[in-house]
Amino acid sequence: MIIDPKVTKLSIFNGGGGIVEREIKLSLSQGTNEFEIANVPASFDPNSTDIKLEYISPADKDLITLQQTIVSLPDVNTSQQIINREQSAATNIISYSIDFTRELREEVSNICEASSYRTYADMKGTFNFIINSKVNGEVIVKILYFIADLRIKWETTLQVNVNNDGKSAEIEAYLVVDNQTGFSYEDVELGFAIFELPMAAIETTGAEFASAVNIPMEQQAFTELSKQKRTQRMRNLML
Amino acid sequence: MKANVPTRKKIKLNWFKSGANLDVERNIEMQYDANSVIYNKLNWEVSVKYVLVKEGDPKEIPINSQMTLYKGGLPFLFLSTAGIIGNKIISEELIDDDIKIDDDIVQVVEGEEKVTYEDARDPKQHIEVRTRFDKISRRITIENKLDNEIDLALDFKQTKDVTYVKSTPEPTTIEEPDYKFEIKIPTEEKSRITLELQAKIVKRVTKIKPEFIKEKTPI
């Protein structure tokens, strides 16, 4: 069964990427229940996925268990072919729409823009899981995964209003979230962390992109990150 | 904090508002070597950084965050953060183009040359080492082109070849090899410091030892 758990929390790293937390209440039938999570980006890290079951009744703990998770990333070559075809079609449509009225042109752009900017990271990954249940019942499933995509990040801007005395000031701080990925997050709890994804995590998601030719521009930056190991502790912002 | 994060969009969220104490740190670092100390004219640069001490709880602000300074509602400086220490927000260091420094030579009094010899690679040659200690006087003029009074710290660092003798005015603090001058300059005015220095000038010349110089026989 395909399910689309709501994204409840999105913790974004200032160095790019983040952690997605999703949640859904599922009805289970007795036996094996297989679920497929929709809208998982191909930039997700299959090794960092985590599923936690939250039992509605404490007695369910012995009756409902997570059997396994199944994760995979889409094939790079096939995805690239699809992306190229889509981009070419989108460019043609946008180009022809120049002859239309402004309203129509904008509508066409809105529809085709997503295809025109699509990259491998905007394709869909596979994230399935199987729950064994000895009874018909319900369980809350919490899903967590890292996204290794430099196109989603945050930064701070400070506006410092210097007072007339020149010795004091008022600081106004803003958080700017830049989401250039193909995924939207509606009404999510936002978290901000000062963190850069380590090379290992990036390579896990990018392992299939072995050939540099196939790496989209924004993800090539991952390979340019320093190979020297350094201590890095994630620091969460106190909002 | 809840928000919508739409695809291919940037969103701006309010984070915090806070009062802060502002300190503008201007610094000039000067040092000479045996060559540069006798240049007729030298130009130094003033580095400036802004230090904000925020009121209330500390906030983790990433380095390289954009920072815009406003005065009277208008932006006057764009810079970025270089670090955070507790409640202290420290900006990157910039070169202050509104403070001009001219460093001119005033006088050079050449010292007496002492000659010593060192062995050369060729046994028929030796190196003649001519050492002298020159007294050099330089005048540093600092001009404040800003519309407000400024405080700045001039740090003269003596080196193995150029050492401090005296100055007018005297340094505020001396922590050898650093001689620090804390200077206050009113708007559109100049401040001067005269430094008297001693420079060790060494010249080395490789020569044939006298006993190996063949005398020319007259034709």
Tell me the pLDDT tens digit for each residue of B95-126: 999 999 999 999 999 999 999 999 989 999 99
Instruction: Write out pLDDT tens, residues B156-185.
Output: 999 999 999 999 999 999 999 999 999 999
Would you say residue A225 has pLDDT above 90?
no
Residue A44 lies in a domain: no
Do B112 and B163 share a domain, yes or no?
Answer: yes
Residue A129 lies in a domain: no
More confident residue, A226 or B164: B164
**Is residue B6 packed enough to be buried (19+ CB in 10 Å), middle (13-18) or exposed (0-12)?**
middle
Contacts of A160 in chain B (CB under 8 A): 20, 22, 50, 52, 67-70
Q: Closest by alpha carbon to A159, among B75, B187, B138, B136? A: B75
| CB within 8 Å: A170 and B148 | no
Q: What percent of chain A has pLDDT over 70?
A: 83
Residue A210 lies in a domain: no
In sign, the C-alpha dihedral spanning B65, B61, B68, A12 is positive
Mean pLDDT across chain B, nearest whole number?
A: 93
More confident residue, A56 or A214: A56
Could you tell me how many CB contacts below 8 A there are between chain A and chain B? 144
pLDDT for the residue numbered A216: 54
For testing contact with chain A, the best of B15, B57, B79 (most A CBs within 10 A): B15
Count of domains observed in chain B: 2
Residue B147 lies in a domain: yes
| CB within 8 Å: A170 and B21 | no
Residue A104 lies in a domain: yes
Instruction: Write out pLDDT tens, residues A190-204.
Output: 999 988 877 655 544
pLDDT for the residue numbered A237: 73
Q: Name the helix (H) or strand (E) containing A145.
A: strand A137-147
pLDDT for the residue numbered A166: 86
Q: Closest by alpha carbon to A71, among A204, A225, A215, A234? A: A204
More confident residue, A226 or B124: B124
- Which domain covers residue A85, as residue numbers? 76-116
pLDDT for the residue numbered A102: 86
Do B177 and B188 share a domain, yes or no?
Answer: yes
Do B87 and B195 share a domain, yes or no?
Answer: no
Mean pLDDT of A128-150: 93
Do B75 and B144 share a domain, yes or no?
Answer: no
Residue B65 lies in a domain: yes
Would you say residue A206 has pLDDT above 80?
no
pLDDT for the residue numbered B76: 87
Would you say residue A234 has pLDDT above 70?
no
Note if the pTM is more than 0.90: no
Cα angle for residues A152, A156, A159 (degrees, 5° grid):
145
Say which CATH number the domain at B112 has. 2.60.40
Residue B158 lies in a domain: yes
Contacts of B17 in chain A (CB under 8 A): 170-173
| Chain A residue at shortest CA distance from B54 | A171
Do B138 and B88 share a domain, yes or no?
Answer: no
Domain termination site, one of B70, B95, B120:
B95
Do B85 and B180 share a domain, yes or no?
Answer: no
Interface of A with B in 187-206 (CB under 8 A): 187-190, 194
Tokens encoding A153: 């990040």
B20-to-A118, A184, B82, B199 alpha-carbon distances in Å: 44, 37, 17, 46
Q: Are B14 and A174 in contact, with CB atoms under 8 Å apart? A: yes
Tokens encoding A212: 């540099």
Q: Does A174 touch chain B (CB under 8 A)?
A: yes
Q: Closest by alpha carbon to B154, among B198, B194, B197, B186? A: B194
- Which domain covers residue B147, as residue numbers? 29-45+98-212
pLDDT for the residue numbered A205: 45
B124-to-A170, B105, B129, B209, B216 alpha-carbon distances in Å: 76, 41, 17, 6, 18
Do B82 and B127 share a domain, yes or no?
Answer: no
Mean pLDDT of B31-35: 93
Residue A148 lies in a domain: no
Q: Closest by alpha carbon to A76, among A232, A222, A225, A209? A: A209
| Chain B residue at shortest CA distance from A178 | B10
Do B148 and B168 share a domain, yes or no?
Answer: yes
Interface of A with B in 101-130 (CB under 8 A): 113-114, 117
Residue B20 lies in a domain: no
Cα angle for residues B50, B53, B56 (degrees, 5° grid):
150
Mean pLDDT across chain A, nearest whole number?
A: 85
Q: Which residue among B2, B7, B12 sits closest to A176, beta carbon to beta carbon?
A: B12
Count of domains observed in chain A: 1
CB atoms within 10 A of CB B52: 26
Residue A37 lies in a domain: no
| CB within 8 Å: A171 and B19 | yes
Q: Are A16 and A154 in contact, with CB atoms under 8 Å apart? A: no
Assign A210 a pLDDT band (cuts: 50, 70, 90): very low
Q: Residue A74, preceding bond cis, omega within 30 degrees?
A: no
Q: Look up residue B43 and give its amino acid.
A: N
Contacts of A168 in chain B (CB under 8 A): 19-22
State the ipTM, two decimals: 0.78
Q: Does B3 touch chain A (CB under 8 A)?
A: yes
More confident residue, A211 or A99: A99
Q: Are A35 and A131 in contact, with CB atoms under 8 Å apart? A: yes
Instruction: Write out pLDDT tens, residues A165-179.
Output: 889 999 999 999 999
In sign, the C-alpha dihedral spanning B144, B145, B150, B153 is negative
